[in-house]
Amino acid sequence: MTVAFRLLLSIPHFIWVVLFGAVALVVVFLNWWATLFRGSSPAGFHDFLAGFVRYLIHIEAYLSLAADPFPAFYVGSRMDAYAQQASALGLERVVQFRSRVSPDQARQLAASSDVLLVIDAPSEGKLGNGLRVIVARREGVPIVSAELVALSGAEVDPPRLSGLASLAAALMTQGTKRHTAPELAAAAEALGGSLDSGAGWNGAAVSITVTTPKLDAALALVAEVAREPVFAAEEIDRVRTQTLDALKVAYASPGTLASLVAERLAYGAGAYGHPVGGTPESLPRITRDDLVAVHRRTFRPDNAALILAGDIGLDAGLALARRHFGSWPVPSDPPPAAPRPSGATTGPPVAIVDMPDAGQAAVVVALALPERTGSDRAIGAVFNSVFGGGYSSRVNQEIRIKRGLSYGASSGVEQRREAALFRVGVQTKNESAAEVVRLVQDEIDRMMQEPVGDDELAARKATLIGGFSRSVETTTGLAAAIRSLVAGQRPVAELKTRIEQLQAVTAQDIQRYAAANLVASRRRIAVAGVAKTFASALEAAMPGVVTVGRDALDLERSDGLARR
């Protein structure tokens, strides 16, 4: 009745949204062209659109019972009023966005502790069988995200069986000793949630998000899926066929192939070199016995953590964990040891994947970063934000904005337990692939040779801090942030100090980090596209290039990439 009454009261707002929405569409169109030519959004357009979005979110929050005050009518000049109203509702970080930030504003945001998100360190306990229980309390909304995380993932895939951990994790929700896949899905849906599972580097997880009163029943489903999967033959065949079909589509993309090849080149024969999802050659080799064995080795209480993020305390979380996981036995053999990562010591530094029908070329530069301390992780994050973490980043400015060689160039630092992978990706015309390789290399060299300017550093830190703050606003995002720490075997208390660590990074830290970790001899480059249009230019600039046809590519090999 409450919702129905609010819907009735909101009818005038619906009419107002339609009228102002038509105006907003015109402003969006004009703002797009203005930003294209100016490089930034005009203040008037930005403020109008920001206020309109605030207005829409306030209406949505009112209708979903997340906010009580009746929304005021937006008239295009109430930006400050809506900011104050959102802050009063606790929604300021949800509804606040800014596409143009002046250097002074960026420095103030990056340096100020008054406007930044404050996160309490999660609480933690342990069951008698070794299962860690981590609770991040978030009061106000009766929702909890639950994740059961096994601390082993694709890095324990045996040789020639890449994709084993990923396939096993995907099959966990496809049938247990008590329920079929449709029955599990229906049970989760009846609780208002969705039961998901998957694996990556250093971890595999089963997760669900439900309202607090449904958490007990939801954890019963998570426990059943984790402890009693059956790996039925028909489900194995179905999921394997779907995965192989997806790989066929992925392998037709230059970006996907270049990324997979660059990762293989960066890690060589090491544990992190093979594709997480497997290859067309490895997946057919996987048997049911392989799946049962890897599940038994990895999903065990002394190799797992239960993460609960939302409207629940530690005592209640421990009580639910004991009820559903307390009887989970510990196998007699030890859990799998994580292999030590290592960069490639053999194999080519540059590879071309020839795709004669490709409409574009993809360039990927990758480096296996060495083991990092806590401060190095923060420095690496800020370095990446400056180099390729967004539209205003250096590599995008140089390749897209200045030269128009791509619709977008970006980079990322991807976590591994002991270290990380730095990856730069660009899609461009086949004819400009060699030029893009040079530009990416030049920008990396510049990061090593010159300190970042104060204004640029402040703006990129502000962007990074804002992105992190938004990512942990939801219970699912908060649980994911904790999962990342747990999978990396880092203290969950780092969540509380993350923003402080980012604020503390200096230009000298970034230059020192780049000079130590991004040396040219450790870079590995993959280019996928029509080889005849760029191979000669690339070979002239970088001796030792290896060319392999797409159909001959074997990603389980690291010394030549082509089948024998």
Say yes or no: 134 and 67 in one domain. Answer: no
Last residue of a domain, one of 65, 99, 133: 99
Q: Which residue has the tokens 């906010």?
A: 67
109 within some domain = no
Mean pLDDT of 343-363: 87
Pairwise CA distance, residues 238 & 228, whole Å: 19
Q: Does residue 28 carry a pLDDT above 80?
A: yes
Q: Which of 181, 172, 164 is nearest to 229 (CA)?
A: 172
Q: Which residue has the tokens 């401060």?
A: 375
Mean pLDDT of 449-455: 95
Say yes or no: 381 and 516 in one domain. Answer: yes
Pairwise CA distance, residues 59 & 48, whole Å: 17
Pairwise CA distance, residues 545 & 254, whole Å: 18
pLDDT tens across 489-498, in order? Answer: 899 999 999 9
Highest mean pLDDT pick, 41-55, 216-230, 455-469: 216-230
Banded model confidence at residue 4, pLDDT cuts 50, 70, 90: low
Token duo for residue 395? 């590599």
Pairing of strands 203-211, 409-415: unpaired
108 within some domain = no
356 within some domain = yes
Pairwise CA distance, residues 150 & 164, whole Å: 15
Percent of the chain with pLDDT over 90: 66
Mean pLDDT of 252-269: 93
Pairwise CA distance, residues 321 & 316, whole Å: 9
Say yes or no: 387 and 419 in one domain. Answer: yes
112 within some domain = no
Say yes or no: 357 and 393 in one domain. Answer: yes
| Residue 253: partners with Cβ closer than 8 Å, 6 or more residues away | 362
Mean pLDDT of 55-82: 58
pLDDT score at 14: 79
Say yes or no: 296 and 406 in one domain. Answer: no
406 within some domain = yes
Banded model confidence at residue 295, pLDDT cuts 50, 70, 90: very high
Q: Does residue 71 carry a pLDDT above 60?
A: yes
Of residues 98 and 521, more confidently modeled: 521
| Residue 298: partners with Cβ closer than 8 Å, 6 or more residues away | 150, 151, 152, 153, 156, 165, 204, 335, 336
CB 260 within 8 A of CB 275: yes
Say yes or no: 136 and 192 in one domain. Answer: yes
Q: Does residue 544 carry a pLDDT above 90?
A: no
Pairwise CA distance, residues 128 & 325, whole Å: 10
Q: Which of 425, 449, 464, 442 is nearest to 510 (CA)?
A: 449
pLDDT score at 100: 41
Q: Does residue 398 carry a pLDDT above 50?
A: yes
Say yes or no: 64 and 152 in one domain. Answer: no
Q: Which of 352, 358, 360, 363 is nearest to 388 (CA)?
A: 363
Q: Does residue 2 carry a pLDDT above 70?
A: no
Number of domains in the chain: 3
Of residues 126 and 69, more confidently modeled: 126
Say yes or no: 138 and 273 in one domain. Answer: yes
Average predicted confidence (pLDDT) for the chain: 87
Q: Does residue 173 carry a pLDDT above 90?
A: yes
Say yes or no: 284 and 146 in one domain. Answer: yes
Supply the angle between the helices 374-388 and 454-471 in degrees, to the nearest 10.
Answer: 110
Poorest-confidence range of 74-88, 142-156, 271-285, 471-485?
74-88
Highest mean pLDDT pick, 114-128, 358-372, 435-449: 435-449
Give the CATH number of the domain where residue 435 resides.
Answer: 3.30.830.10
Token duo for residue 551? 């159909």
105 within some domain = no
Q: Maximum distance among all alpha carbons in the chain? A: 73
Pairwise CA distance, residues 207 & 194, whole Å: 8
Pairwise CA distance, residues 155 & 203, whole Å: 9
Say yes or no: 151 and 284 in one domain. Answer: yes
| Residue 540: partners with Cβ closer than 8 Å, 6 or more residues away | none
Q: Does residue 18 carry a pLDDT above 80?
A: yes
pLDDT score at 339: 74
CB 387 within 8 A of CB 447: yes
Q: Which of 192, 229, 195, 227 is nearest to 210 (CA)?
A: 192
Percent of the chain with pLDDT over 70: 85
Say yes or no: 47 and 190 in one domain. Answer: no
State phi, psi for 439 to the nearest 5 degrees: -65, -40
Q: Does residue 89 carry a pLDDT above 60?
A: no
The pTM score is 0.79
Banded model confidence at residue 190, pLDDT cuts 50, 70, 90: very high
Say yes or no: 57 and 139 in one domain. Answer: no
558 within some domain = no
164 within some domain = yes
User: What does the DSSP assignment read for 418-450?
Assistant: SSEEEEEEEEE-GGGHHHHHHHHHHHHHHHHHS
SS3 188: helix
Banded model confidence at residue 345, pLDDT cuts 50, 70, 90: low
Q: Does residue 419 carry a pLDDT above 70?
A: yes
pLDDT score at 133: 98
pLDDT score at 16: 74
| Total count of residues recorded for the chain | 564
Banded model confidence at residue 256, pLDDT cuts 50, 70, 90: very high
Q: Does residue 53 carry a pLDDT above 80?
A: no
Mean pLDDT of 30-56: 75
pLDDT score at 343: 59
Mean pLDDT of 397-402: 94
Q: Does residue 267 carry a pLDDT above 70?
A: yes
What range defines the domain where residue 171 resides? Answer: 123-325
